[in-house]
Chain A
Amino acid sequence: EAGVAQSPRYKIIEKRQSVAFWCNPISGHATLYWYQQILGQGPKLLIQFQNNGVVDDSQLPKDRFSAERLKGVDSTLKIQPAKLEDSAVYLCASSLEGGGAQETQYFGPGTRLLVL
C-alpha cells in the first residue's frame, strides 16, 4: 500500500515570494491534515479536511496561508507571501474515516521550507 506522498521535499524561497505544497493521501482516506513543524517543536495542526470540506482551520494564518482539497483526494497548501517565520517542515497526514481517534493518522515525509 502506497503511503502519503508529498512534494516537493525541499524548497528555498525569499521572503514575500509564494510557494505551494502538494499532498496525495493514502487511497481511500477521507480525512487529510496539514501540520507545521518548526525546528525544535512538535507538529502543529494547520488545517483538517473531511473529504473536500474543512473541519478545522482555526490555527491557519488565513491572511497568508490557504489550502484546498477540491475533489476530496489531493490537497495543496499555499503560502503567499512567505515570511521568515514560515520556515518549517510541512507535514501532510491522512486517516481512513472520521468518527474517533481509533484511526491512525499516517504521515508523509514532509516538505522542508526555508525562507530567506
Chain B
Amino acid sequence: AQTVTQSQPEMSVQEAETVTLSCTYDTSENNYYLFWYKQPPSRQMILVIRQEAYKQQNATENRFSVNFQKAAKSFSLKISDSQLGDTAMYFCAFMKPSSPTFGNEKLTFGTGTRLTIIP
C-alpha cells in the first residue's frame, strides 16, 4: 500500500516570500503520479500541480513548482511570491495508474500542511 507523509502540520510566511512544503511517499511502483491540492477555508479542493513519475523535468505552474526526487521519494512544492490567496491547506497526493478499463485510480492523500500567508 502507498503512504504519503507531510511532516509540516503548519507553516506561515510573509507575503511575497517563497515557501516550500515537504512531502515524502512510499511505494514499490515505478510508474505513478503525484499531485499537490489546495483546500482553502471554503473547502473546495483545487488541483495546484501534477507530476508524472516518468518525467525527469520538474513541473511548474506559474508561481508553483515542484522538486521531484524519485530516488528519495520526495515531492516538495515551492510557492514563489506568495499571496494572501495562497492561504489554505495543502495536500500532497499519490496515484497509481490502473488499467484503462477501470478508470482513474484513487488518490492517496497526506495529512496536509496548513499554510498561512501573513500580510
Complex Cα distance, B32 from A49, in Å, reads 21
Q: Are B104 and A95 in contact (CB under 8 A)?
A: yes
Q: Are A44 and B111 in contact (CB under 8 A)?
A: no
Complex Cα distance, B45 from A108, in Å, reads 7
A45 at the interface (CB under 8 A from B): yes
* A98 proximity list for chain B (CB < 8 A): 100-104
Point out the residue from B4, B46, B95, B101 that lies within 8 Å of A42, measured CB to CB: B4
Point out the residue from A89, A103, A112 that lies within 8 Å of B104, measured CB to CB: A103
Interface centre among B45, B91, B95, B112 (most CB of A within 10 A): B45
Complex Cα distance, B102 from A97, in Å, reads 10
| Contact surface of B with A, Cβ cutoff 8 Å | 4, 32-33, 37, 42-47, 50, 52, 91, 93, 95, 97, 100-107, 109-112
| Contact surface of A with B, Cβ cutoff 8 Å | 3, 30-31, 33, 40-45, 48, 50, 55-56, 89, 91, 93, 95, 97-101, 103-105, 107-110, 112
Given contacts A44-B109, A45-B107, 8 further A-B contacts (CB under 8 A): A42-B110, A43-B91, A93-B45, A101-B52, A101-B105, A105-B107, A107-B45, A108-B44
